[in-house]
Amino acid sequence: MDHWRLAKFVPTDPVHDRFEPSQIPSHKQGSELVSDLLVVAARGQDGNPGNPLVQNGGGNELEGAGSQKEAAMVGRLIQVAKSAYQYPLLFKQLWHTPLLHAADQEIVYRDLKRFTYRQIKERIGRLASALDKIGVRPGETVGVLDWDSNRFLEAFFAIPMMGAVLQTVNVRLSPEQVAYTINHAGASTLLVNEEFVGLLEGIKPQLAKVKTLVVMSDRSSPQTGSLSFVGEYEDLLAAASPDYDFPDFDENTQATTFYTTGTTGLPKGVYYSHRQLVLHSVCELAFFGGASQQGRFSRDDVYMPITPMFHVHAWGFPWAATLAGAKQVYPGRYDPALLVKLIKTEKVTFTHGVPTILQMLLNAAAAAKTDLAGLKMVIGGSALPKTLAKQALAAGIDIFAGYGMSETGPIAAVAHVDSKDLSGNPDEEVEVRTRAGRAAPLVDLRIVDPDMNDVPHDGKSAGEIVLRSPWLTQGYFDNPESSEQLWAGGYLHTSDVAVVTPDGYVHITDRLKDVIKTGGEWVSSLQIEDLITQCAGVGEAAVIGVRDDRWGERPLGLVVKDATSANAPDDTIIKAHLKVFVDKGIISRYAIPEKILFIDKLPKTSVGKINKVELRKKYGDM
């Protein structure tokens, strides 16, 4: 085995890391070299016990709380046979099983192309060979600007597998933010769908670090504008070898980076290692496969993302679905009619998305008179309204919520319904299906007070969700102050306020910054929004706190009417609707908004969440 393949990876910077030669003599081979590496890892390079809480050799300098106070313990390391293979958790390992039992399984791109797993694996090798030929080296960052496609799936594997870093560029950000994220990540090569050539032309003068461009297109003659490309994606693959020899390297090597949506300032860069994302893939399969009846995902499902692959790795499912050997369908740019068509023709059974995507899907299916029965759909990104969940259940969709965030990779919890609670009564089931759910395997999920003390699991006591798991981002790139705030006390702080029931279901009541403090009480904006959307004739609703001289804050309701409904609610009707829940003791009288404004639409972030920052700027002084 070549010594460079097991060279020690010495991170100094989570996005711009490079492979550096190990100080261990290069004449040592195989397990002898691995044994030396294990000793270095266990004892530290200076011979002292290493700190196991510092990932990537301490490259990000984010240590667990109190770790310096704790005596480092080094137990007995296992004996390693000279011929034993030290199995690093790298993306390439995800291909062993599917190539054995599902080599001829299909991967479909829109209604344009069909591939087998065997062919996609070959194309991954060709992509790596092509990138190597145009100068991409281990540790460099390659950005991808594309819709959900087989090309993106190939990049999901090839770029990290060759030791480079995959940046999934959020093309829905503003041009200035797109330029900022590419520059901040240090991308030197970009793979660009021709649809974004115009975007790139406008910001290219700002991208001093970008040296190489590759154009991607569904057509034989792509539009390139005034930009200079080294080649077209398919041409480069056709001229490249499929036999790229993907090396072994440290499993803590960075695999990906992407950026938060930046509603409160500049987008923040999060980053993940091979080890983190392989463990995420395995646990995702265990989590969804462990469901007894409802919400299962297995190799027999047909998977199609309706969460963009540039957003939190499409929730990790492209890797998990590949590991399972399931049929996969990639729909390109989201067109409602095409999504419904693909669900029907390709027999899609499992997907995920945000509430606005679900509403779009229901409307498109109704227009096309298409039955969605049999589809399983996880909803995340923002709260799943009970009214929308009931609509989905009525359409035959197995609908349920999941919980996670950019910083969590993302899976933290899912609202699977126990078999005993599958009553068939939608009013009962939505109470469980719309919760954040139960924690995933290996996730240490706590609800704590401001002093980091656990609150009672009584379904009433609220606190902040804090997390530990093997796949949480270890910080924000090049932002040490925010990184320390994120990891204060050794747990990742989500800023989500929640309660947890005695049987372990987490229910999010609000974001810390969105809780409304009025009349000496805390009012959940999410709860009021959900109740308002249950009023006939309401399409969408948002609730924010506005300043009030007497009460400190008062809720303001912002409502979009349902254009398809015969009902025309006004503020009096909505307040009377909410008064019913006050009389039942479900909400406080202070929770009824002082004012309710009817607006044409609610502003959304690039990933479909209601943009409350923008709402507060516009309406906060009313």
Encode pLDDT of 517-550 as tens digits.
Answer: 776 667 888 889 989 999 999 999 999 988 887 7
Give kind and range of the element (H or E) at residue 136.
Answer: none
Over residues 168-188, the mean pLDDT reads: 95
487 is catalytic: no
Residue 349, burial from CB neighbour count under 10 angstroms (0-12, 13-18, 19+):
buried
Residue 590 has pLDDT above 50, yes or no: yes
Q: Write down the pLDDT at residue 519.
A: 61
CA angle at residue 177 from 173 to 179, to 5 degrees? Answer: 115
Q: Write down the pLDDT at residue 70.
A: 55
Q: Write down the pLDDT at residue 263.
A: 56
Fold for the domain defined by 514-619: GMP Synthetase; Chain A, domain 3 (3.30.300)
Catalytic residue among 212, 260, 351, 509: 260
Helix (H, G, I), strand (E, B) or coil at 313: helix
- Candidates 355, 324, 422; CA nearest to 608 is 355
Q: Write down the pLDDT at residue 33.
A: 37
Cα distance between residue 30 and residue 37, in whole Å: 11
Residue 35 has pLDDT above 50, yes or no: no
517 is catalytic: yes
More confident of the two residues 590 and 197: 197
Contact 305, 108 (CB under 8 A): no
Q: Write down the pLDDT at residue 557.
A: 93
Q: Write down the pLDDT at residue 520.
A: 62
260 is catalytic: yes
pTM for the whole thing? 0.80
Tell me what percent of the residues of the chain surpass a pLDDT of 70: 87
More confident of the two residues 251 and 293: 251
Catalytic residue among 82, 513, 517, 579: 517
Over residues 232-243, the mean pLDDT reads: 98
Sign of the Cα torsion 87, 93, 94, 100 reads: negative
Catalytic residue among 122, 522, 595, 614: 522
Residue 81 has pLDDT above 60, yes or no: yes
Q: Write down the pLDDT at residue 276.
A: 98
Residue spans of the domains in the chain: they are: 1-86, 88-280, 514-619
69 is catalytic: no
Expressed in angstroms, the distance from the first to the final Cα of the chain is 69
Residue 51 has pLDDT above 70, yes or no: no
Instruction: Read off the pLDDT band of 474 (50, 70, 90).
Output: very high
The CATH architecture assigned to 88-280 reads 3-Layer(aba) Sandwich (3.40)
Q: Please spell the DSSP secondary structure of 450-468, one letter per residue.
A: TTSPBPPSSSS--EEEEEE
Catalytic residue among 140, 284, 407, 464: 407
Q: Please spell the DSSP secondary structure of 164-177, one letter per residue.
A: -EEEE--TTS-HHH
At 568, the amino acid letter reads A
Cα distance between residue 21 and residue 32, in whole Å: 16
> CA of 544: how far to CAs of 112, 516, 582, in Å?
45, 7, 19
